[in-house]
Amino acid sequence: MSRAFTSEEYEQKDVQIVAPVKKETTPDEELVFRYSSGRNVNDPALAYEIGVNFMDGSNGFFQDRDLAVRWLDRAVRYGHDVAMVTLADLFLKDTKTNGYRKPAKLLKMAADRGNAAAIARLDMEHIDSPTSRRTYEAYRFNAELGDPKAMRLLAEGFERGDFGKDKYRAAAVWYTKAFKHGDDDAAKRALALHYKKKVELTPEEIGFLRSKGE
């Protein structure tokens, strides 16, 4: 049976006593600790405030997008609807990286909790101008959420030239998505673009659209 060494035996055997390593705090942890002032870090309002501080570089915080996303996401997971809208807007600043689906889902979550700003952003019934960014985003958000009507409206907008470059290719893509979600007439619109030589569809795309589109 093993036994504990006495202090004399430690000295005789020259056994090294290693002190526990002190955990170093990172700069962001120190900021959070000072700002929290004893508040529970699981408080969604606090998580939201910290996220905004990192996003804006305010209240003595340094600006850091990744930390902003981390803290805003924490607030979102605790059900903070304003954090959902804020995080959606942060993602929308770089749609090439983040796309539109993440922001759309966040806005839907906020709207389901009664957030007025999110409800307005998703509203397709009160459109101010067919060519505005607000219109495009309302259609795009709802399309990303699986609404075939929004997909159709988005496709028609691209076909008219309301929403920027490569309009016919984008129109064909959204007509095809609308068709996949149950809008049979959308297949005819996509095929019409091909036959009018507005866009070149692949044989596979044509075969798929013809399955019900003609």
Amino acid at 172: A
Of 99, 132, 161, the one marking the end of a domain is 99
**200 and 139 both lie in a single domain:** yes
**27 and 60 both lie in a single domain:** yes
**136 and 177 both lie in a single domain:** yes
Rounded distance, CA 51 to CA 64, Å? 9
Q: What is the pLDDT of residue 25?
A: 53
Domain contains 107: no
**93 and 128 both lie in a single domain:** no
CA neighbor of 126 nearest in space, from 116, 112, 138, 115: 138
The residues, ordered by sequence, that sit 6+ positions from 179 with a Cβ below 8 Å of its Cβ are 186, 187, 190, 209, 212, 213
**86 and 139 both lie in a single domain:** no
Of 99, 114, 148, the one marking the end of a domain is 99
**135 and 79 both lie in a single domain:** no
Q: What is the pLDDT of residue 165?
A: 74
Domain contains 161: yes
Of 37, 66, 99, the one marking the end of a domain is 99
Question: Which domain does 53 fall in, by range?
Answer: 21-99
Rounded distance, CA 47 to CA 26, Å? 18
pLDDT tens sequence across 84-96: 999 999 999 999 9
pLDDT per residue, tens digit, the chain (214 aa), is: 555 545 454 455 554 545 444 444 577 999 999 999 989 988 999 999 999 999 999 999 999 999 999 999 999 999 999 999 999 999 999 999 999 999 999 999 999 999 999 999 999 999 889 889 999 999 999 999 999 999 999 999 999 999 977 799 999 999 999 999 999 999 999 999 999 999 999 999 999 999 864 5
Domain contains 205: yes
Domain contains 11: no
**136 and 207 both lie in a single domain:** yes
CA neighbor of 136 nearest in space, from 153, 116, 111, 117: 153
Rounded distance, CA 61 to CA 11, Å? 49
Domain contains 80: yes
Q: 77 vs 101, 115, 133, CA distance in Å?
A: 17, 16, 29
Domain contains 5: no
Domain contains 77: yes
- Counting residues of the chain whose pLDDT is more than 90, the rounded percentage is 80
**132 and 205 both lie in a single domain:** yes
Q: Cite the DSSP H helix spans in the chain.
A: 7-13, 27-36, 44-56, 65-77, 81-92, 95-98, 101-112, 116-122, 133-144, 148-160, 167-180, 184-195, 203-213
Q: What is the pLDDT of residue 127?
A: 87
Report the number of distinct structural domains present in the chain.
2
Q: What is the pLDDT of residue 27?
A: 79
